[in-house]
Structure 1
Amino acid sequence: MVTVTRTDPVSDDALRLIAGSEAEQAALYPPEDRFAASPDQLVADDVRFFVAYFEGEALGCCGYAVCDGYGELKRMYAEPAARGTGIASALIEAVETAARAEGIALMRLETGQLSPAAIGLYTRHGYIRRGPFGDYPENGSSVFMEKPL
């Protein structure tokens, strides 16, 4: 059974997962096309961070930032061996539930064109493509999506 817990983003489990996310993104995208939040940014008061566990093992993470008029999904990551097990879906559902409880009615995200599995996951969960938002540039690499909650 998967459990998802709100967690300190600088805990050992979270830092290990964030490092895995960073390594994966670095292998796909040049630095100028990577916008992932650092652990220091994830400890901000307007960010909520979660870790998914299966049988006590931390296998995925995700958070969201509370923005003006929407939430923004941050640092969605599942360990490669855990993909296809429901870890990512459990994270999305937990994050969306927490955001709704805060009165957030819209979730947005930025991902990359070279991440088709992520785009597919978000699409299956009802996210649709949109143009850039916030401070994101239109760079030809990013994919922007949103979902009403």
Structure 2
Amino acid sequence: MNVALEPAKQPEVQALIDQLDAYQWPLYPPESHHGIDIDALSQPNVLFAVARDDAGKAIGCGAIVLDAEYGELKRVYTLPECRGKGVAKAILSLLEQSAGQRGCTRFVLETGCRQPDAITFYERSGYRRRGPFGSYMGDPNSVFMEKLVNAQPR
């Protein structure tokens, strides 16, 4: 497996995001969907990671949107048949490391309450529950999490 920062605007990446949306849409009402589109994922303040198998097929992705106060994780997804193999961990590690090299020491995320595997993954990765952040409002379907890390040299 190889994980690297890549452009979000790729057909394989769009297919991963489409699969993520297909999974999440039935779980929550429309007002509880907080994903961002491929154009937003292609902005200069976004780090986008893609995991590829040994044959070069995209098997997972994730992004971190950097702003002055924190980096927000978005669109972290692994193909179901590739779960449990460290793909999400490798994506998260690269995103946190890359953001840390840019001075980011606070990571936040919003995930859904009906995604216990994601919540457990983030908790095992050092994230702790917190209240809403940024422009998010309180939502009974949302779980907000945060992780603080030491700054890395630039």
Normalised by the length of structure 1, the TM-score is 0.96
User: What are the ranges of 5 or more consecutive residues in structure 2 without an aligned counterpart?
Assistant: 150-154
1:90 is the counterpart of 2:93:
no
- Superposition CA RMSD, Å: 0.8
Q: Which residue of 2 aligns with 1:143?
A: 143
Number of paired residues?
148
Structure-2 residue corresponding to 1:68:
68
CA separation in 2, counterparts of 1:16 and 1:62? 13
Aligned to 1:39, the other structure's residue is in SS state coil
For the residues of structure 1 that align with 2:41 and 2:136, how far apart are their CA atoms? 18
Unaligned runs of 5+ in 1: none
Within the alignment, does 1:37 sit opposite 2:36 as a pair? yes
Question: Counterpart amino acid of 2:126?
Answer: G
Deviates more, 1:5-14 or 1:98-107: 5-14
Q: For residue 110 of structure 1, give the secondary structure of its aligned residue in structure 2.
A: strand
Residues 1-149 of structure 1 aligned to structure 2 (within 5 Å):
2-55=1-54, 56-149=56-149
What is the CA deviation profile of residues 26-68 of structure 1, one whole-angstrom value per residue up to 9, with x for unaligned ones? Answer: 1211211010111111111211111001112211000000112
Structure 1's consecutive aligned runs of 4 or more residues displaced over 4 angstroms after TM superposition are none
Quick one: distance in 1 between partners of 2:86 and 2:26? Answer: 24
Q: Secondary structure at the match of 1:18?
A: helix
CA distance in 2 between counterparts of 1:143 and 1:105 reads 20
TM-score by length of 2: 0.93
Partner of 2:152: none
Question: Counterpart of 2:59 in 1: which secondary structure?
Answer: strand
Q: Which structure dedicates a bigger proportion of its chain to strand?
A: 1
